[in-house]
Amino acid sequence: MLNDVETIDPNGIGVQHAKVSIVMMNDPSKKKVLARLRRIAGQVEGIAHMLEQDRYCVDVLLQIGSARAALGQAGKLVLQAHVETCVSEALVSGKATDRKQKLDELMEVFARYGSLGG
pLDDT, position 115: 60
> Is-contact 15 9, C-beta < 8 A?
yes
Report the alpha-carbon distance of residue 101 to residue 18 in Å, rounded: 9
Of the listed ranges 11-25, 35-49, 56-70, 95-109, the least confidently predicted one is 11-25
The residue among 66 and 114 whose pLDDT is bigger is 66
Q: Which pTM was predicted?
A: 0.70
**Are 35 and 50 a contacting pair, CB within 8 Å?**
no
The domain spans of the chain are 25-113
Which top CATH class is 25-113?
Answer: mainly alpha
Strands 15-21 and 2-8: antiparallel
pLDDT confidence of 21, banded at 50, 70, 90?
low
